[in-house]
A and B are shown apart, each in its own frame.
Chain A
Amino acid sequence: MIAHDVALPPLHVEKLPSGLTLLAVQKRGLPLFHVRLSLPAGACEDPRGKAGLAQFTVDLLRRGTRRRPAPDVDEMIESMGAQLFADVSMEEAALALTVPSELSERALDALLEVALEPAFDENEVAAARRRTIAALQSDLDEPSTVAGRALVTLGYGPGHPYAHPAQGFRRDVDTFQREDALSFHATRYQQQGGLLAAVGQSSPAELIELLKRKLGQWEASWPGRSQRSPLQFAALPPGHATRAVIIHKPDSTQTQVRIVSTGVPRSTPRYAEAVVANTALGGGFTSLLVDAIRVDRGLSYSVSTRLHMNRRAGLSVFASFTKNETLRELVDVAMEKMRAYAASGPSNDALEKARTYLAGLFPLGLESHEALGEQIADALLDGLGLEHLKTYRSRVLAVAPEPAREMAAELSPARDGALLIAVGDADAARSALDGLCPVEVRQLEEFA
């Protein structure tokens, strides 16, 4: 029996008048210091026709600042034994560094310089454009990457701010100029809506003091807020009939399968019910689908359902793969099991198992400096608050059968209107899916 909620380590949260949130977390043990800056500059902010600009901008940050060229930026960071994390999610751009404790001031200086003073040198922009285009083409060799790119593009549908992969498309990246990155940085890398977190051995008060002292050096040059148009997050249109898209990858002996339906945003008040219902369906190794597809039939090595929860919308996704010869069998079993689950919800045993599984493993997600900083930062930025983490275990353990059943019906990826994506040999996949639903074949290159 899982005993109690998990206490967070000593921490302090402070919102500055500029709109920037400061977070300080004391973590004893290993002599490490972690700093993370999250900014409202994620992929959903990509302007129309500029898919990938948020990622392109964050990639360019380390390619030179106004104080030093790219090789010197690398030297500044890596001589500390650190590697810069710089990436975007749908919502945020995030930069992070973990260094030995004694280098905490240097790490903060380096992170803020990279984030706030990029040079966006013309030659670096051109080189980054060539690299990104080459990488996007190269990604077509990874069937699971192609499936991932297709599911956000097709799952959210045209015009939705989440409806493109963070890396963008070649046709858009090809148009990126220095001015695009400059403008994106000037309007999105603002204090309003941002969060600067430090996780280290010092007390929260000492860490906050350090953050404020360092911020003081940037106050004049870092804009507090900028004017920009709000994004339009229209509700995802309900689909009416199941359809399939085959993405042709020649010579594949195995097909990647995704079944996608509308999900829930991360801010849903029924978060606990959603994760419990998903875990029982395809979250753990003994979930319904893993049992049916892998353990009972040996059809695949990997089977899962995942809730892609963004701040304002989400998808519910079934993911697996199998040899071409058993594609239809896998799809039939998955659809049948998911439909039955939507009707009945988890059994009492499955519900109990899912609740305890999630509650028992929850503390593992708070272990490292990086995980602790990210989890708390995300909870604050998503507006869920610290209570989201503090009460996670008790909320999950309290999920009752009826709400779990309702969520099972609401989140099953196999609902009417589901989208089936198959990445593999088109002839084999078309023949396998014959008679199941309308099928459209798309070329691999469309997803680069």
Chain B
Amino acid sequence: MPLSESDFPVQEHSLKNGLQVRLLRDASLPVCTLYSFFRVGSRNERPGITGISHLFEHMMFNGSKKYGPKEFDRRLEAAGGTSNAYTSNDLTAYYEDFASEALPLVLDLEADRMASLVIDDASLARERDVVKEERRFRTDNDIDGMMDEALGALTYLAHPYRWPVIGWMSDIEAITRKDCESYFRQYYAPNNCTLVLVGDFEPETALREIEKLYGPIPAVPPPPAVPSGEPPQKGERRAVIRYPSQAPALLAGFRGPDGRDPDSLVLDLIEAALSSGEGARLKRALVYEQELCVDSHVYFGWRMDPGPFEISLKLNPGVDPSRAEGALWAELLRICDEQMPQRELERARNLVRSHLLRALATTNGRAHTIGQMEVMLGTWRALLDLPDRYAAITAADVRRVAQKTFAPHRRNVITLIPGEVEA
């Protein structure tokens, strides 16, 4: 079932300064979502300032020329709205969900901080402390976080995907106001941004307002290219973490294709077959039948450059990690060697299609999906034929991509062993 353009009457505009605007009216509820996608993430960083994209995301809420410190969220919440943001390896996205009456204010707030963000030493110092707490929470005291960080450093030697989005603690401490100002000038320009507005609004009025507020912001020269090289992997890589946990854990990663490579869609189906739902292969084999794991997860997300396909196993207390690892490789071998039954392929397609449909069920979800398609695949229209593209994937495609991706010499394995590090 393809999605129809009549269901998604997205209006496309580009301002003279390069700002891309995507508008989708939906008056079913009196709310709107505005997303600002900036094409900058941790892949645009360099050693010494890792984490600046994420730290900068925090700084965007600390005041601009017209709306001073604390004003952004204060004004927004007082008008019936809320904001948040996230930083990934590839992009930084800011959004506001709000009562539709607040649209003029929201556009003014966003345009003002793109035009004239103010960065001062005091707010940078406070925000640095907040980010360090976030790092302690998500990474230093979190098993998944510490393993994921180790896997990135193992899987990539040369590419910026090597470092964590939140950055190394020593870099977070060292980033200066000057670094931030230069980062802002380079990446927070209209020609590096896609604006997506979805909800209950009049498109003509909204577009006029966007042109008025964003039009005067000058474009900047395109950002420097990201060093995207990575030597081919010539053998399995391993690392061990010792941590006082209740049980061992395993995280395996394979470098896969980039998001625009058609093989990415095949890996989406493999991800669903391995880990979506209770009947997924890994859950059935490792959790229910062999009772090796409390839980298993697969994560594969589209990236701008060849990204990782990750498999995480939270082992039952006392289970020997090598046993769980052996069971995992056996399941991956099955995907590589045996043709996936048609019924299972259909199940995976249906799960992926449902996931896509459910992402479109909310105003925020529609805005996010449109923007993500623009930034990652080059056009929001990619959304329309995704169901057909998934439907065209065959069992032979699954086997071919699995063999290419899961070859033993491409393995990267982090094992977490309960216990203390010996001094």
Contact = CB atoms under 8 A, between A and B. Distances in A.
Interface of A: 1-4, 6, 28-32, 62, 70-71, 74-75, 77-84, 98-100, 127, 130-131, 134-135, 137-138, 140-143, 250-254, 284-286, 291, 294-302, 321-323, 349, 352-353, 356-357, 359-361, 363-364, 366-369
Contact of A359 (B70, B99, B130, B140): B99
A361 B80 CA distance: 6
Contacts of B358: 32, 98, 368
Contacts of A80: 350
Given A3-B30, A284-B77, A360-B102, A296 B126 contact: yes
Given A131-B287, A298-B125, A357-B78, 5 more contacts: A77-B279, A134-B294, A138-B316, A254-B137, A297-B126
Contact of A301 (B81, B130, B350): B130
A256 B188 CA distance: 35
Interface string B246-287: 110000000000000000000000000000111110001001
Nearest to A28: B28
A352 B80 CA distance: 10
B361 A299 contact: no
Nearest to B133: A301
Contacts of B278: 62, 74, 78, 83-84
Contact of B79 (A75, A250, A323, A356): A356
Contact of A81 (B245, B279, B353): B353
A30 B80 contact: no
A366 B142 CA distance: 33
A81 B78 contact: no
A253 B314 CA distance: 22
Nearest to B420: A251
A6 B29 contact: yes
B294 A138 contact: yes
B126 A29 contact: no
- The range of chain B's interface size is 35 or more
B134 interface: yes
Nearest to A424: B141
Contacts of B420: 251
A250 B97 CA distance: 40
Contacts of A353: 74, 77-78
Contacts of B141: 143, 252-254
A131 B351 contact: no
A127 B357 CA distance: 34
B106 to A, nearest CB: 11
- B128, B140, B358, most chain A CB atoms within 10 A: B358
A134 B29 contact: no
B130 A137 contact: no
B21 interface: no
B346 interface: yes
A299 B134 CA distance: 10
Contacts of B349: 81
Interface string B353-378: 11001101111100000000000000
A74 B281 CA distance: 11
Interface of B: 1, 28-31, 70, 73-74, 77-83, 97-99, 101-102, 125-134, 136-137, 140-143, 243-247, 276-280, 284, 287-288, 291, 294-295, 314, 316-317, 343, 346-347, 349-351, 353-354, 357-358, 360-364, 420
- B31, B77, B347, B420, most chain A CB atoms within 10 A: B77
A361 B97 contact: yes
A301 B82 contact: no
Contacts, number: 195
A81 B354 contact: yes
Prevailing SS type, chain A contact patch: mixed
7 contacts: A30-B361, A70-B288, A81-B354, A98-B354, A137-B317, A143-B141, A299-B133
A128 to B, nearest CB: 10
Given A79-B347, A299-B133, A367 B29 contact: yes
A74 B127 CA distance: 46
B29 A363 contact: yes
Contact of B357 (A30, A285, A356): A30
Contacts of B247: 134, 137-138, 141
B354 A134 contact: no
A252 B137 CA distance: 10
A364 B31 contact: yes
Nearest to B354: A81
B29 A141 contact: no
Given A3-B30, A138-B317, A78 B279 contact: yes
A31 B276 CA distance: 22
Contact of B136 (A81, A82, A297, A323): A323
B64 to A, nearest CB: 16
Contacts of B102: 360
A356 B80 contact: yes
A433 B291 CA distance: 42
Given A291-B70, A323-B136, A368 B362 contact: yes
B99 A2 contact: yes
B33 to A, nearest CB: 9
Contact of A141 (B82, B140, B246): B246
Contact of A74 (B70, B279, B357): B279
B74 A286 contact: yes
A141 B314 CA distance: 11
A321 B133 CA distance: 8
A286 B143 CA distance: 31
A23 to B, nearest CB: 19
Q: What are the nearest 6 A-B pairs in CB distance?
A: A360-B80, A74-B279, A81-B350, A298-B129, A360-B99, A81-B354
A141 to B, nearest CB: 5
Contacts of B246: 137-138, 140-141
A210 B361 CA distance: 23
B279 A286 contact: no
Given A30-B357, A323-B133, A75 B291 contact: no
Contacts of A322: 133
Contacts of B97: 361, 364
B314 A138 contact: yes
A152 B310 CA distance: 35
